[in-house]
Chains A and B, each alone.
Chain A
Amino acid sequence: MNNLLPLPILLPMLGAALNLILSHRPRAQRVVSIVSLLGVVIVAGTLMWQSYHRGVQTLWVGAWPRGMGIALVADGVSSLMLTVAALVTLGVLIYSTGQDAEEVRRATPVSIFHPTFLLLCAGVSNAFLAGDLFNLFVGFEILLFASYVLLTMGGTGSRIRAGSIYVVVNLLSSNLFLVGIANIYAATGTVNLAQLSQRLPLLPDNVQAGLQFLLLIVFSLKAAVFPLQAWLPDSYPTAPAPVTAVFAGLLTKVGVYAIMRTQTVLFPGRPLTDLLLWVALATMIVGILGAIAQSEIKRLLSFTLVSHIGYMIFGVALATISGMAAAIFYTVHHITIQATLFLVAGLIRRVGGSTSLERIQGLAKVSPLLGALFLVPAMNLAGIPPFSGFIGKLGLLTAGAETGTPLAWAVVAGSVVTSLLTLYAVAKVWNRGFWGEPQIVEVEDDDEPDEHEGKLLPPVMVGAAIGLICLSLAFTVFAGPLYAYCTLAAEHMFGPQYVQAVLNGVPTP
């Protein structure tokens, strides 16, 4: 029993409702949004502390008899993801407030942005805390609906084009998810994850395999895993920078989290190691080769996002505690770093007037600060020591080597190659966009570069980007304790703790 559990869902929803009422008072909206997200950060941090010290936290909502109603569960993984997601969304929200103030709400109806953004957070929290499959579906639908609105905000031609693809793909995956839930309910009579964990192994083997593949396909589509990744680089880059940042940081990771959760809790005895290793290898290589071909920063980053999902799938595929721990650490690192890079891409657009590498040049001379803001997360993404990207990759490679099958070694080699190619891709952005003589923006007042810079880069936006970079550096500095936490969380994923905590006091039929 822990009554804190619904708060990460309720606080943003309450904030969204207040924001709709306050839609004509942008300053009040910003205060409400920031306060409600700060609340989520505090609650999520508390949940993380509680789940670490007191074990898995559960709540049966609505005072139904235990085992009948909806269960909310926060264990090591979900509370960690919740905390990082809340911190990143808070950073992105602060960044977006700087943008509103600067652009005086021209093309996009900002009054809609804040409520929708908060609903997205509520959906993400709900997906992380869901203790049953149907509630997970509802969480996905909340966040997807918010994302449809955010992606097509303003209704310009390119956003409608990108939005159509995104909406149709996600509709299909949601419907497949419902088919999966209906089949699982027909076979077992429950949708609660902990109860399913006990009842699914009793089913015939082929029925289990069918259900497992169905769930894997659904979540792979949401996580943009090869061969279901083609929609992502098409739809993400056209949205405004804060929207793309939060999409890239969070939405695919919710899919990865769902894969982790369902594959370990529901099908503990039958890991799809070989299949997932192949898929991970293909995702990495296809994604990064796509990234190299791009000449537009946001598209390039979207392709690296696809490629690095492969690393997380690699960790999940190994189905060992060390592999899962590395995957969790890598997911946490990647949520932060990918969101930061998209925010910086937004800043590049402000300074250079474009995010196409064919139009920008010499940005490091125009704004050395921007250069530093790009370089640190970019090197972190490529996995240069001592950043957290390197630590996560090292963990994955070690786990792969421990497993030691030829296929695992092949994926280890593939991830090293992908890491080098990522370095090549970000170095291409650096060489082309940041080096050389400035092209687009003429620096006129050389005497007062600071003032010029301040005008180009609003301090709030830069502050938010620096804050997120500091968060990723904190993962590097506190990598020891964080990695220990991830290892414990991974142990609990394979152990009986989750099921025991949820089913504590539930009468067995």
Chain B
Amino acid sequence: MIPNLTLAIVAGVLIACGVYLITERSLSRILVGVAVMSNGINLLFLVAAGPAGMPAIIGMFPADQMSDPLPQAMVLTAIVITMAVSAFVITMAYRSFQLNGHDEVSDDVEDARIRALAERDDVSASFEEIRFSDTGDDVVSE
């Protein structure tokens, strides 16, 4: 099988652009990134299918002239899934916009709190220092 170089390059460029957009903060840019990347991957499946041929309908064309139908079935499934994903991400971006006035993926609040404690070299309120004294009584300071 001789792969189609143009298709492979286009697929690579689309996937690279998609990855770049996914690294953005804004959900609407991520959405565009996902769409671009999915299309690149669909092209990749076309590369995998080999040279173009006749429709794969039994009885209409001889088998050796048909194109490989299996990657097309996979691409079809992938397109449907991408559509559903896009719908979900748009909904989520809109809900985020409703709630916060923007659609940016934000940092973890709890994580930031613990990091701030660590930077202050402080302990959280749930910290207990337990000493084991010689007398056998455990001293618990809070």
Q: Residue on A with the closest CB to B43?
A: A182
On chain B, the residues within 8 Å of A178 by CB distance are: 38, 41, 44-45, 78
- In this complex, the member of B88, B105, B110 whose beta carbon has the largest number of chain A beta carbons within 10 angstroms is B110
Write the nearest CB–CB distance from A187 to chain B, whole angstroms.
8
A299 to B124, CA, bound (A): 15
Q: Complex formed: what's the CA distance from A268 to B8 in Å?
A: 30
Measured CB to CB, the nearest residue on chain A to B27 is A164
In the assembled complex, the Cα of A233 lies from the Cα of B111 at a distance in Å of 9
The interface size of chain B toward A, counting residues with CB under 8 Å, comes to 42
Point out the residues of chain B lying under 8 angstroms from A356, CB to CB: 126
B96 touches A160 (CB 8 A): yes
Given contacts A168-B22, A185-B45, contact A294 B114 (CB under 8 A): yes
B126 touches A357 (CB 8 A): yes
A202 within 8 A of B: no
List of A residues within 8 angstroms of B96 by Cβ: 160-161, 164
Q: Which residue of B lies closest to A294 (CB)?
A: B114
Question: Within 8 Å of chain B (Cβ to Cβ): is A506?
Answer: no
Q: Which of A149, A157, A168, A183 contacts B48 (CB 8 A)?
A: A183
- In the complex, per-residue mask of A161-175: 1 if CB is within 8 Å of any chain B CB, else 0: 101110110011011
Check B141 for interface membership: any CB of A closer than 8 A.
no
For the complex, is A358 an interface residue (Cβ under 8 Å from B)? yes
Which of B81, B118, B128 lies at the interface centre, i.e. has the most chain A CB atoms within 10 A of its CB? B81
Interface check A186, CB cutoff 8 A: yes
Judge whether B128 and A431 touch: CB under 8 Å: yes
Given A164-B27, A295-B124, is A182 in contact with B45 using a C-beta cutoff of 8 Å? yes
CB < 8 Å: which of A174, A179, A295 contacts B15?
A179
By secondary structure, the A interface counts as helix
Q: Smallest Cβ distance from A18 to chain B, in angstroms?
A: 22
Assuming A185-B45, A358-B125, is B100 touching A157 (CB within 8 A)? yes
**A168-B30, A179-B41, A358-B125 known; A160 vs B99 contact (CB < 8 Å):** yes
Given contacts A157-B100, A164-B96, A179-B44, whether A148 and B88 have CB atoms under 8 Å apart is yes
* Residues on A with beta carbons closer than 8 Å to the beta carbon of B34: 171, 175
Interface residues in A261-296 (C-beta closer than 8 Å to B): 293-296
The distance in angstroms between the C-alpha atoms of A145 and B83, with both chains bound, is: 12
Q: Is the beta-carbon distance between B77 and A138 smaller than 8 angstroms?
A: yes
Query: Which residues of chain A have C-beta atoms less than 8 A from B45's C-beta?
Result: 178, 182, 185
Asked if B84 and A145 make an inter-chain contact with CB atoms under 8 angstroms apart, the answer reads yes
Which positions 66-93 of chain B face chain A at CB distance < 8 Å?
70-71, 74, 77-78, 81, 84-85, 88-89, 92
Is A181's CB within 8 Å of the partner chain B? Answer: yes
CB–CB A295/B105 < 8 A? no
CB-CB < 8 A to A145: which residues of B? 84, 88
With A and B bound together, what is the CA distance between A251 and B34 in angstroms?
22
The answer, yes or no, to whether A491 is at the interface (CB within 8 Å) is no
For the complex, give the distance between the alpha carbons of A149 and B87 in Å. 12
Tell me the nearest residue of chain B to A185, going by C-beta.
Answer: B48
Within 8 A of A (CB), among B102-132: 105-106, 108, 110-111, 114, 118, 124-126, 128
Shortest beta-carbon distance from B2 to chain A in Å: 12
A152 close to chain B: CB less than 8 A = yes
Interface residues of B in 4-56 (CB under 8 A from A): 15, 18-19, 22, 27, 30, 34, 37-38, 41, 44-45, 47-48
B89 — which chain A residues lie within 8 A by C-beta? 167, 171
With a CB–CB cut-off of 8 A, which chain B residues contact A155?
Answer: 95, 99
Q: Determine whether the beta carbon of B81 is less than 8 Å from that of A141.
A: yes
Query: Would you give the 0/1 interface string for A55-68, flagging 1 where the beta carbon is closer than 8 Å to chain B?
Result: 00000000000000
Cα A233 to Cα B128 in complex, Å, equals 24
Contact residue among B15, B105, B118 (Cβ-Cβ distance under 8 Å from A164):
B105
A134 an interface residue at 8 Å Cβ cutoff? yes
In the complex, which of the residues B77, B110, B125 contacts A299, with contact meaning CB atoms closer than 8 Å?
B110
A185–B95 touching, CB < 8 Å: no
By the criterion CB–CB under 8 Å, are A358 and B124 in contact? yes
Q: Are B106 and A161 in contact (CB under 8 A)?
A: yes
Alpha-carbon separation in the docked complex, A304 to B114 (Å): 17
Q: List residues of chain A with CB within 8 A of the CB of B81.
A: 141, 174
Distance of A305 Cα from B43 Cα, bound (Å)? 38
A453 contacts the other chain (CB 8 A): no
Contacts of A134 in B (CB 8 A): 74, 77
**Is A432 located at the chain interface by the 8 A CB criterion?**
yes
Query: CB distance A358 to B106 under 8 Å?
Result: no
Nearest CB of chain B from residue A504's CB, rounded to whole Å: 22
Contact sample, A vs B, 24 pairs, CB 8 Å cutoff: A145-B88, A148-B88, A155-B95, A157-B100, A161-B105, A164-B27, A164-B96, A171-B34, A174-B81, A175-B34, A181-B74, A182-B45, A182-B74, A183-B44, A185-B45, A185-B48, A191-B70, A233-B111, A293-B114, A295-B124, A296-B110, A356-B126, A358-B124, A358-B125
Residues of B at the A interface (CB closer than 8 Å) are 1, 3, 15, 18-19, 22, 27, 30, 34, 37-38, 41, 44-45, 47-48, 70-71, 74, 77-78, 81, 84-85, 88-89, 92, 95-96, 99-100, 105-106, 108, 110-111, 114, 118, 124-126, 128
Interface residues of A (CB under 8 A from B): 134, 138, 141, 145, 148-149, 152, 155, 157, 160-161, 163-165, 167-168, 171-172, 174-175, 178-179, 181-183, 185-186, 191, 233-234, 293-296, 299, 356-358, 428, 431-432
What 18 new A-B contacts, CB under 8 Å, besides A134-B77, A167-B88, A358-B124?
Answer: A148-B88, A155-B95, A157-B100, A161-B96, A164-B27, A165-B105, A171-B34, A171-B85, A171-B89, A175-B18, A175-B34, A175-B41, A182-B45, A183-B44, A185-B45, A186-B1, A294-B110, A356-B126
